[in-house]
Every structure is written in structure tokens, then in C-alpha cells.
């Protein structure tokens, strides 16, 4: 891709919405995660997995600095931050295993799972799938510079202490020239002592063709019902969000890894919403764009869905619910052909007659004055731990608000029984800004963690070992 020339405009003149979006369009978490839209000539029609032409918009320079935090979010609770791990590339997820050990498993998008214990990161990876992945960061089209493929999700079986089983989402090389790669959901078994994964035990549960290197999502979570929930993005074809009969894209799936249904390598829960009706039985909820991160709070599944044109959103996902993409973005109307969102009288139900469910919160990419608020919502979790300032608050993030600085944001929302959740920005006792691009959040008992990279988008972060993990502590 052509790298934007930072000298072409001044910081003030480049703070406009158009220049920022165009610049982000040139960097991967970008055309998808950062949420920019394509020219109408490049629209994707229903059932078409190949754009008629590649995006042609020429990027211009974004803000080179973030001078002052914009006033969009009210100041929220104050916490402190402790660095617990460094030297990673792109820490995309954290998981724990209910096996009585003091271990956190950190997923690095580049292909490894690392163990973090009382003495820090273990010297050897728990699992290394680098040789089974696509070459992350390489072979991308010129309109994607930040690769969203790689090692994307990890979940341990609720009975891992007994059966040593775990589940992984990753991007495998394509076996077809018409595909970019394949998205896999696989089961592995750890060694008897639980210190490593036996790679020879891989059992592939899903092996899905993927036409583009973005909008995979990837989070895996076991629910309180014992079933495995898997998030899949729309593959950059927005119409997939409303298609539950031909593919799994733009949805949250729910499967039973402890049984088999017909010739499938997994079981279908009998109460999945489309069992016995028109649609693929694995679907649990749909109408999503790129559900980058999700987590359970009790029996409530909370999902962050990355926006495209204007709005980022958080959804409380219910069985059989349709969350509106691409007919809605946040609380607003969305035109899937133009790739634009607006206010006004919106579509309220799908072609199937399902009501379109509103999110519980949203935030824009820009203020009315044109200052960047945040791109790519990062779903989080409800903090139930020992930090009084954020206890029972939903902790989540925004990936970035700058092209040339690590300018992620940490946010909290107060859950409500109905209506919108009020949002505030977390403050820090030991620093003015978080100082990273936020990639994920993690939880281990009473502890909450933030994962990200100190490399900015302009620094090609997937080529650097600047990934970090922070633990939140009381101020």
C-alpha cells in the first residue's frame, strides 16, 4: 500500500473526519476494524464474495498527534496500571483454565499461546501454531496493511482439569486460489501434566472458506450452559449479516463439543433457535458485522460489534435475536449499498420478519466538531473484582483514535435493566493516557487485564514485538 505522507497536511487541517477515515482505510484493522466504507462502485451484492473492483480511495494524512482528549466521554473512575507482560507481537486474547493453577493463557495473533504465571511469561509457548497459520502480515492486498488473520481465539473446556481439551480459532492457508484463507475452529488436547498442547491431537470442528483477510472476529467462550459460543464476522460482505441459510458469517454460533449430531464433528443444542426451521442450526444470534470480542457476565453474553460508517456498538446477545447489520448501525439507519449511516425512520425488522434489536450503547467515530472519538470497539467484561472504582461496571475499550500514536481508550458502562448504558472514560492515577492500541481485555477471578501494543498503526505493529499486557489495580 502507499503509506500516507505525514508532511502533506498540518495536524489541524488533517483532523477532519474524511482525512482520518481515508488514512485508516489504508491500514487493516482499518477497512474493517477501523470501520471505513468503500466507494459505491466496490459494493458487494448478496451472494457475491468477490468485489467488482478493489477500493480506490487515496488516503490522506490523519492527525499526527492527539493534543487533548476530546470531551465526548465524561470522566470516569480512576485506576492504576501495572505491566505484567511484554515482548509479544499482537496479544489478541486471554483465557484461563479451571484447573487450580495460577496461570493465564495469552494468545498472540502471530501464532503462539503463552503462559503467564506468578513469575511472568513462561520461556516456552503452551501452543505454537505458527506453521499452521497463514503468513500473518504478508501477501495482503494493497488496501489492507494491518492483518486481522492469525491466532484469534482460545477457550478451555469447563472440565479441562479432567479431559485436557481446549478450543482454538485460527486462520489457515487457502487450498483454493479463489480464497484468501480458511478459518478453522479446532479442538486440541493438552499433555497429561497440562504444561503444553499435543499438536497431533487436533480435531477440526469447522473449516470455513474465507475470501478476504478481514472480518473474521474469532472469540470463543464457553457459556454457563456448557456450550461453546463462537463469533464470526461478515467476511466484508455486509449482506452475510442477514443470511442465516447459506453461511455462518455475521453471527454468534453455539455448538455442543461433547456430542455429535448426524455427520457433524459436534452436536447441535436442541434449543438453538433455528433447529427445525429455515436456517443453519448452529446459529445462536445474527445481524452482526465484526463481533471482535465477547464475554459472559453470569448468563448474559455481551458482545462488541465493530462499526463501519459512523458508530461503534455493544450488544447484549440473546438467543435468536437479530442485531440489524447491515440495515442498522448502532441506533441508526444504515444503507448497505452506500455504506453510510444516518438518522431518520429506519427499518425495524428483517426480511424474515424478525425485529431488529438495538445495542445497549454506542459511540461515534468523531465528535460534531470533527475530533476523533474512537475506532473499533473492543468488547470486554463486567468487573466483579476488588477494584471498588469499577466494580460491577462493564469494562471495554476503543482500539485507537490516532494513526500515528498508540491512542486506545479504556471505557466503562453501567449495566441497566433496560435502555441505554451510560458510558464514561477510565482515568489513570499513574499516567494521562493508556498509551497503547487496545486489542483485547481479559479477566482472571478478581483481576482485570488490558492487552494491546505500544506500536501505532503507522509503525506496522505486526512487524514489532511491542505487545503488552497490563493488569488494572486500585488507584
* One pLDDT digit (tens) per residue for the chain, 475 residues: 222 233 333 333 333 444 444 444 433 343 434 333 333 333 444 444 544 333 333 233 344 455 555 579 999 999 999 999 999 999 999 999 999 999 999 999 999 999 999 999 999 999 999 999 999 988 888 787 678 999 999 999 999 999 999 999 999 999 899 999 999 999 999 999 999 999 999 999 999 999 999 999 999 999 999 999 999 999 999 999 999 999 999 999 999 999 999 999 999 999 999 999 999 999 999 999 999 999 999 999 999 999 999 999 999 999 999 999 999 999 999 999 899 999 988 999 999 999 999 999 999 999 999 999 999 999 999 999 989 999 999 999 999 999 899 999 999 999 999 999 999 999 999 899 999 999 999 999 999 999 999 999 889 899 999 999 999 999 9
Q: Grid coordinates representing 339? A: 455504506
Q: Please give the span between the terminal C-alpha atoms of the chain, in angstroms, as a whole number.
A: 43
Please tell me the predicted confidence (pLDDT) of residue 67: 54
What confidence score (pLDDT) does residue 49 get? 53
Lookup: cell for 114:
503463552
pLDDT value at residue 137 = 87
Phi, psi of 442 (to 5 degrees): -140, 160
Return the C-alpha cell found at 375: 475506532
Q: CATH second-level architecture of 13-474?
A: 6 Propeller (2.120)
137 close to 459: Cβ distance less than 8 angstroms? no
CB contact at 8 A, 462 and 137: yes
C-alpha grid cell, residue 345 = 425512520
Cα gap 159→139, rounded to integer Å: 39
Stated length of the chain: 475
No. of helices (H) and no. of strands (E), the chain: 2, 28
197 touches 191 (CB < 8 A): yes
The residues with which 452 forms a beta bridge, in sequence order, are 438, 468
CA distances for 412 relative to 43, 164, 312, angstroms: 35, 35, 14
Q: Report the run of H or E that residue 328 belongs to, with start and end.
A: strand 328-329
Q: How far apart are CA 117 and CA 139, in angstroms?
A: 35
Largest CA distance in the chain: 62
Grid coordinates representing 255 are 455448538
**Concatenated DSSP letters of 124-146:** S-SEE-GGGS--TTSS--TT--S
How many angstroms separate the CA atoms of 220 and 231, rounded? 7
Q: Is the dihedral of CA 220, 224, 227, 229 positive or negative?
A: negative
Q: How far apart are CA 92 and CA 107, in angstroms?
A: 6
**Residue recorded with cell 500516507:** 4
Give 372's DSSP letter.
B
Q: What are the DSSP E strand ranges found in 211-250?
A: 217-222, 228-232
- CA 30 – CA 115 distance, rounded (Å): 30
Which one, of 106, 105, 16, lies nearest residue 61 by Cα? 16
Instruction: Kindly state the helix (H) or strand (E) to which residue 20 belongs, with its residue range.
Output: helix 17-24
Q: CA angle, 119 as apex, 115 and 123 as ends, to 5°?
A: 50
User: What are residue 172's DSSP bridge partners?
Assistant: 182
> What whole-number distance in Å separates Cα of residue 284 and Cα of residue 317?
9
Q: Computed over its alpha carbons, how large is the radius of gyration of the chain?
A: 21
Specify the pLDDT at position 275. Answer: 98
Amino acid at each position: 500500500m502507499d503509506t500516507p505522507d505525514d508532511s502533506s497536511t498540518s495536524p489541524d487541517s488533517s483532523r477532519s473526519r474524511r482525512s482520518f477515515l481515508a488514512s485508516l482505510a489504508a491500514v487493516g484493522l482499518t477497512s474493517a476494524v477501523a470501520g471505513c466504507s468503500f466507494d459505491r462502485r466496490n459494493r458487494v451484492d448478496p451472494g457475491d464474495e468477490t468485489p467488482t473492483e478493489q477500493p480506490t480511495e487515496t488516503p490522506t494524512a490523519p492527525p499526527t498527534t492527539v493534543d487533548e482528549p476530546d470531551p465526548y466521554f465524561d470522566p470516569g473512575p480512576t485506576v492504576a496500571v501495572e505491566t505484567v507482560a511484554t515482548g509479544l507481537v499482537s496479544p489478541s486474547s486471554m483465557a484461563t483454565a479451571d484447573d487450580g493453577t495460577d496461570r493465564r493463557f495469552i494468545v498472540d495473533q502471530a501464532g503462539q499461546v503463552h503462559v503467564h504465571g506468578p513469575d511472568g511469561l513462561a520461556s516456552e509457548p503452551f501452543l505454537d501454531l505458527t506453521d499452521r497459520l497463514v503468513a500473518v502480515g504478508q501477501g495482503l492486498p494493497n488496501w489492507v496493511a494491518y492483518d486481522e488473520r492469525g491466532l484469534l481465539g482460545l477457550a478451555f473446556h469447563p472440565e479441562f482439569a479432567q479431559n485436557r481439551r481446549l478450543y482454538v480459532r485460527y486462520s489457515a492457508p487457502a487450498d483454493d486460489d479463489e480464497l484468501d484463507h480458511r478459518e478453522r475452529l479446532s479442538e486440541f488436547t493438552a499433555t497429561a501434566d497440562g504444561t503444553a498442547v499435543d499438536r497431533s491431537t487436533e480435531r477440526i470442528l469447522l473449516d470455513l472458506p474465507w475470501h478476504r483477510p478481514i472480518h473474521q472476529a474469532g472469540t470463543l467462550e464457553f457459556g454457563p450452559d456448557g456450550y461453546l459460543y463462537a463469533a464470526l464476522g461478515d467476511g466484508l460482505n455486509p449482506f452475510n449479516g442477514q443470511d442465516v441459510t447459506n453461511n455462518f458469517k455475521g453471527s454468534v454460533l453455539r455448538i455442543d463439543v461433547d456430542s455429535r449430531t448426524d455427520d457433524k464433528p459436534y452436536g447441535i443444542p436442541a434449543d438453538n433457535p433455528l433447529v427445525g426451521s429455515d436456517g443453519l442450526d448452529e446459529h445462536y444470534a445474527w445481524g452482526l458485522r465484526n463481533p471482535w470480542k465477547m464475554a459472559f457476565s453470569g448468563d448474559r453474553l455481551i458482545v462488541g460489534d465493530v462499526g463501519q460508517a459512523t458508530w461503534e456498538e455493544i450488544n447484549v446477545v440473546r438467543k435468536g435475536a437479530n442485531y440489524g447489520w447491515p440495515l442498522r448501525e448502532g441506533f441508526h439507519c444504515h444503507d448497505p449499498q452506500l455504506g453510510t449511516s444516518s438518522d431518520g425512520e429506519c427499518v425495524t425488522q428483517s426480511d424474515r420478519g424478525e425485529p431488529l434489536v438495538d445495542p445497549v450503547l454506542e459511540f461515534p467515530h468523531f465528535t460534531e466538531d470533527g475530533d476523533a472519538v474512537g475506532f473499533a470497539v473492543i468488547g470486554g467484561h463486567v468487573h466483579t473484582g476488588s477494584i471498588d472504582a469499577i466494580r460491577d461496571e462493564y469494562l471495554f475499550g476503543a482500539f485507537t483514535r490516532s494513526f500515528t500514536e498508540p491512542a486506545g481508550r479504556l471505557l466503562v458502562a453501567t449495566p441497566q435493566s433496560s435502555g441505554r448504558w451510560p458510558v464514561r472514560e477510565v482515568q489513570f492515577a499513574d499516567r494521562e493516557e493508556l498509551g497503547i492500541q487496545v486489542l483485547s481485555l481479559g479477566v482472571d477471578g478478581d483481576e482485570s487485564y488490558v492487552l494491546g501494543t505500544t506500536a501505532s498503526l503507522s509503525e506496522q505493529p505486526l512487524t514489532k514485538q511491542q505487545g503488552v499486557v497490563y493488569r488494572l489495580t486500585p488507584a
